[in-house]
A and B are shown apart, each in its own frame.
Chain A
Amino acid sequence: SQQGEEDPQALSIQEGENATMNCSYKTSINNLQWYRQNSGRGLVHLILIRSNEREKHSGRLRVTLDTSKKSSSLLITASRAADTASYFCATVPYYGGATNKLIFGTGTLLAVQP
C-alpha cells in the first residue's frame, strides 16, 4: 500500500496549547496537503506545500516538509475547541504525468479540551 502513516493516532490537549501531527509517506511527491474532517463528514483543505518548499504558514497553521526523510508535520498553534477533528495528510505522487491522485495518511484524531 502507498498509504502514508501519521502519528500520533490520537492527541488530546487543552485549549491554548499547540498541537503537532506528523506524517510519513513512501513515494516521490508532487506536493503534500493537509485536510481536516469533522465527525466523519466532508474534508476541508487546510494547506498545500509543494515538493520544493520546506515550510509554509497559514494563520495558526505551520507545515514543514522534509523530502529527504519523506515526512511532514502540521503545527496548530493556540488551539481552540473548534479545532477538534481528524487531520489527514495527503500526498500527490509524482508520476511524471498529469494526475491529481490523493493518497491519504492514516489520520490523527485531535481533541481540544475547553
Chain B
Amino acid sequence: DTEVTQTPKHLVMGMTNKKSLKCEQHMGHRAMYWYKQKAKKPPELMFVYSYEKLSINESVPSRFSPECPNSSLLNLHLHALQPEDSALYLCASSPGLAGRETQYFGPGTRLLVL
C-alpha cells in the first residue's frame, strides 16, 4: 500500500465550528506532514511529526491543532477558523527525516470557511 488517504475530501465550516481533518498511511513511514495550499500558490509547510512527536511547527496559529495518535494516523483539529483559512490542506508522509526522502502526498481536503 503506497497511498496516503485523507478525509473528508471537502469540508465547509462556520467560524464557530470545530472540525477535524484525518490523514492515514500504511507504508510504515515515521514522518508525517501537514501543508496548506491557497489557490494558485505553492504548498506551505505547517507541521512535521517524527516518530509521533511534533518536530516542526511553522508558527501556525493555535486555531490549528495537530495530533498524531499513532504512527499511521495524523489529525488536524480546527477551531474558530477565519475565512482566510480556506485552502487545500495536504498531508504527506516519508520514511523518516533524513533530508533525502521522497514525501508521498494525499489528495488533500478542500476547506471552505464561511
- B-binding residues in A (CB < 8 A): 3, 30-31, 33, 35, 40-45, 48, 50, 88, 92, 94, 98-107
B101 interface residue per 8 A CB criterion: yes
Residues of A contacting B31 in the complex (Cβ-Cβ under 8 angstroms):
100
Which of B41-49, B64-72, B73-81 lies at the binding interface?
B41-49
Contact present for B99 and A92 (CB under 8 Å): yes
Contact present for A100 and B42 (CB under 8 Å): no
Number of interface residues, chain B, beta carbon within 8 A = 29
B97 interface residue per 8 A CB criterion: yes
Residues of B contacting A98 in the complex (Cβ-Cβ under 8 angstroms):
96-99
Q: Give A18 to B90 CA distance when docked, in angstroms.
A: 30
With A40-B88, A100-B31, A101-B45 as given contacts, are A45 and B102 in contact (CB-CB < 8 Å)? yes
B39 interface residue per 8 A CB criterion: yes
Q: Give A42 to B103 CA distance when docked, in angstroms.
A: 11
Q: Give A44 to B41 CA distance when docked, in angstroms.
A: 16
30 A-B contacts (beta carbon < 8 Å): A30-B99, A30-B100, A35-B105, A40-B110, A41-B107, A41-B108, A42-B90, A42-B106, A42-B107, A42-B108, A43-B105, A45-B103, A45-B105, A48-B100, A92-B99, A92-B100, A98-B97, A98-B98, A98-B99, A99-B97, A99-B99, A100-B97, A100-B98, A100-B100, A100-B103, A101-B45, A102-B43, A103-B45, A106-B41, A107-B42
